[in-house]
Structure 1
Amino acid sequence: MDYVSALVPPTVMAIAFTFLIRTLIKSQGGANKAKEDAVVDAALATNAAHAAHAAPAAPAPRPGGAEPRV
């Protein structure tokens, strides 16, 4: 009976993985595709806006007016 208990977890995981992939494929496109695309575009635009806002405009001057060595 040890072989049954050794084979059950991989079999269950394979079946669950198959159903996961099947669900992912079936949910692509369809009636909600435009709405999902709009949500992704809005998230990307928000992320880009935050990144542009957080970027420093110029490096801070060094104390004493010394120029950095390059």
Structure 2
Amino acid sequence: MNWNTLTRQVHRWLSIVFTVTVVANFVAMGFGEPPMWVVYSPLLPLFLLLSSGLYLFALPYAPRSGQRTGG
């Protein structure tokens, strides 16, 4: 398994974790004022999604090893 495949899998699983934390946040808000750790729980997966997403976004533009970069 190479680095790009691992990053894609981690990004997919992080999106599931982020979605679950956001849903849990809304459910907790339905019962009243949620604790602060519930409110801020989506932030860690969000920042990890940001970093992996930016890496995956820049991947097609990065020069590959073994290829000529220009004329």
User: TM-score if structure 1 supplies the norm length?
Assistant: 0.37
Higher relative contact order (CA 8 A, sep 6+): 2
User: TM-score if structure 2 supplies the norm length?
Assistant: 0.36
Greater C-alpha Rg = 1
